[in-house]
Each structure stands twice: as C-alpha cells, then as structure tokens.
Amino acid sequence: MKQVYRRPHSLKKAPFHYCPGCGHSIAHRVIAEVIDEMNLQDKVIGIPPPGCSVFAYHYFDVDMVESAHGRGAAVATGIKRAFPQAIVFTYQGDGDLAAIGTAETIHAANRGERITAIFINNAVYGMTGGQMAPTTLLSQKTTTTPYGRSAQLEGYPLKISEMLALVKGTVYIERTAVSSPANIMKTKKAVRKAFQTQIDDLGFSLVEILSPCPVNWKMAPLEAWQWIEKEMTKEFPLGVIKDVTGK
C-alpha cells in the first residue's frame, strides 16, 4: 500500500504541547516537511525564541539553540558567520521579531545575512497570556488593551515585513497564513523558497505566517481561522511582499 501521509523525519516522535487550534503545530510541520523534501536535516540549525515555541527543540529533529527574547537574528548571524555551510533559520513571534528584536532583525536583514526568519504573527503575546503585540489590530482586545487597541494610545499594527522590504539586504519576503488547507500549501511553498534563497546565497529571507491563537483570542479554532481570513488579512494582506531572487 502506498503511504501518503506520515510524520516528517525532521520532527521527533513527541506530541506537541500547543493548545488546540494553535498555528504553531502546523507551522512546525510545514517547516519539517520542507527540510525533509530539500534534504536539509543534517545542515539546518534552528533558533526558537522564548515564548510558546521555546520547546521547538523537543519537536524538530535538527540542531537547535534557544535564543534570548528578540535576539534570534543576532544569534543566527553569529552561527552563520562562524559556520557558513549551515542553513540557519529563526522561528520568532511578533513580539520577539517586531518589538524587542526589531533592531536585530532590521540590521541582520540590512547586512543581507544569509539566514531565514520564520515570523509567526498571531497578533498577541501568547505564552505570557495574551498581551498586546506590535501586530495587534486596532480595537482588538487583549489583556493589556482591555478596551481595544487605540491608535491614539497604543499606535498602529506594525507592518514589519513591509518595512523590511525597503531594506536592500532582503531578497525574499512573503506573508502567508495557516488558516486553510490552500494557505497552508502556500506557506509551505514560501518556506521552501526562503530556504532556497539562503542556499543560493542571495540574502535575507523572511516568511510571515498569520497564525491562530484561539485561546488568547477567546475564539473556537474554526472561528480563529475565519478571523485571520476576514480581519487579519485586511491589515496584513497575504502574498509576496518582495522577491528579487530572479527566480
């Protein structure tokens, strides 16, 4: 009988601890499938952040090093400069990449570091209990914007991917979502292209993945998927934001 579905080799035989409906598990699986298909399992070094995905090293069967909050791009830079043959990816949330780690991210991108950032945008700080993130939508309620995010008091959702597109060292940036089977397939394609960009030594690549956080959004999983497609994509439209790979 032909096997059509199995656990990717790049995922350990460990059950995910993520909440029901969380997007991390899907993103993990997509990345692992790409690593398998591109035959990169023995070349990849992954960098998970503090946060819900801090235990990513219990799931990915590749070399991994935990980063301090927001410093993923700097840690990735150090690894890649010390050992350029590695395929290095950071796995970062919105607070990590677009708040505390903004400087590290922008400057690594500007240097054109040959690294790939997987940027999980779920519009909240997940592990700490659903506080406002830089990507929280206007009027979205979080534990620190209990009356809804107000532009006057809390500013606007930060479009870090669009900002990074202006930086010359970035080569490929795409925003996808894990909110439907079709979008999951697009995410996989984007992750593959981002890794290929790094293999081809072209520059900095980033895939922003809109990802559901049903628990902190106080929604059922299906409702969370729908909220991504109806609300989040208005502020964060899906698609290729920058591609100068020439491919």
Partner 1 sequence: MPRILLSGNSAIGEGAIRAGCQCYFGYPITPQNELTEYMATHLSRRKGCSFIQAESELSAINMVYGASVAGVRVMTSSSSPGISLKQEGISYLAACQLPAVIVNMSRGGPGLGSISATQSDYFQSTRGGGHGDYRTIVLAPSSVQELADLTHRAFDLADRYLIPVIILGDSMLGQMMEPVEFHHEVPRRLPVRDQALRGAHGRASRFVKTFTSKPTELEEINWSLFRRYRLIEKKETTCESSLVDDAELVVVAFGIAARIAKGAIRKARSNGLKVGLLRPVTLWPFPSEQVKKTAARTKHFLVFEMNMGQMVEDVKLALDGAGEVGFYGRPGGVIPTPSEVFRVVSREYYQRGLSIER
Give the interface with partner 1 as residue ranges (CB under 8 A).
41-45, 50, 54, 57, 60-68, 71, 74-83, 85-87, 103-104, 106-107, 111
Q: Which is nearer to partner 1, 9 or 189 (CB)?
A: 9
Of 130, 128, 78, 71, nearest to 105 (Cα)?
A: 71
In the complex, the smallest distance separating the C-beta of residue 215 from partner 1, rounded to whole angstroms, is 18
Q: Which is nearer to partner 1, 34 or 224 (CB)?
A: 34
Q: Which is nearer to partner 1, 61 or 174 (CB)?
A: 61
At residue 88, the 3 state secondary structure works out as strand
Token reading at 184: 């999951």
At residue 162, the 3 state secondary structure works out as helix
| Phi, psi torsion values for 47, nearest 5 degrees | -130, 95
In the complex, the smallest distance separating the C-beta of residue 29 from partner 1, rounded to whole angstroms, is 17
Q: Going by C-beta distance under 8 Å and a sequence separation of 6 or more, which residues neighbour residue 26?
A: 178, 184, 187, 211
Q: Which is nearer to partner 1, 137 or 160 (CB)?
A: 160
Q: Which is nearer to partner 1, 41 or 245 (CB)?
A: 41
In the complex, the smallest distance separating the C-beta of residue 216 from partner 1, rounded to whole angstroms, is 19
In the complex, the smallest distance separating the C-beta of residue 39 from partner 1, rounded to whole angstroms, is 12
Alpha-carbon torsion, ordered 2, 20, 100, 103, to 10 deg: 20
Q: Which is nearer to partner 1, 64 or 165 (CB)?
A: 64
Whole-number Å distance between alpha carbons of 7 and 13: 8
User: In which order are the strands placed within the sheet that holds 239-243?
Assistant: 44-47, 87-93, 116-121, 204-210, 170-177, 239-243
Whole-number Å distance between alpha carbons of 135 and 158: 5
DSSP-derived pairing of the beta strands 239-243 and 170-177: antiparallel
In the complex, the smallest distance separating the C-beta of residue 149 from partner 1, rounded to whole angstroms, is 27
In the complex, the smallest distance separating the C-beta of residue 174 from partner 1, rounded to whole angstroms, is 25
